[in-house]
Amino acid sequence: MVKHLSFNREMTKLKKQFLLLGSMVEERVRKACGIIEKRDDEVVQELLRSDWEVDEMEVEIEEECLKILALHQPVASDLRYLIAVIKINSELERIADIAVNVAKRVQTINKDSKLDFHFDFSIMTTRVISMLKKSLDALVTKDVAQARELFLDDELVNEERNKVYKAVTYELNDQPGHAACLLNQYLLSRHIERIGDRCTNIAEEIIYLVEGDIIRGSDEKEQQ
């Protein structure tokens, strides 16, 4: 009985930590997407300085999962939950790293004030912010249908990335003197796309958590 109560307390603590990490990462992604348009150097510096907070939280959550696995040896749905948390924990840390990479790209772009080029990233950024929120909501509610929607969302993000590639390629021919800055514009789209990819990875883990099916490497995503 005592062991069971201890397990429940530790799982509750883990879930609270995990929700906190999710909100921290979501906030960083929103800020990163915001500076693409506003080019606010103060927010850029804030993102660069705060990277360690997510890193520390990711390590704490992984250690907590490993401790619960070692002490309580959970089975069935509890075991799947812990495995899913360990994997999603890593995905969230990488998403936060991508937000920092966006800040670095914007920092470089800001140095080239003479470039006469603007791409509207808002469709991409709005979509990936929604994807991240949707993935975290689907995890909390264990909503597999919502998780599967992320595969379709990701295709739309990829389409926008392709538009950036075409626009940047055209501008490279028209304004070759701004090649470095234009390349960083394209890399921004690649970073945003990678956030979407990480969200689909989270969706895969949610499906595994709820249904016990591993869809990584399967044809399921292509069929959505």
Distance CA 84, CA 92 (A): 12
Distance CA 17, CA 61 (A): 7
Distance CA 12, CA 24 (A): 19
Is 131:197 a contact under the CB 8 Å cutoff? no
Using only the alpha carbons of the chain, give its radius of gyration: 20
What's the whole-number mean pLDDT along residues 96-109? 94
Angle 25-28-29 (CA atoms, 0-180°, nearest 5)? 90
- pLDDT band for 221, please (50, 70, 90 cuts): low
For 3-55, the pLDDT digits (tens) are 678 899 999 999 999 999 999 999 999 999 999 988 888 999 999 998 899 99
Is 137:209 a contact under the CB 8 Å cutoff? no
Q: What is the pLDDT of residue 77?
A: 87
| Tokens (6 digits) for 120 | 């509207």
For 67-94, the pLDDT digits (tens) are 999 999 998 889 999 999 999 999 999 9
Is 121:36 a contact under the CB 8 Å cutoff? yes
Q: What is the pLDDT of residue 215?
A: 76
For 104-113, the pLDDT digits (tens) are 999 988 887 6
For 108-146, the pLDDT digits (tens) are 888 876 777 788 999 999 999 999 999 999 999 999 999
Nearest to 195 by CA among 146, 161, 148: 161
**Which class would CATH give 2-223?**
mainly alpha
Q: Where are the domains of the chain?
A: 2-223
Residue type, 148: R
For 172-201, the pLDDT digits (tens) are 888 777 888 889 999 999 999 999 999 999
Q: What is the pLDDT of residue 118?
A: 80
Helix axes 122-141, 144-174, angle to 10 degrees: 160
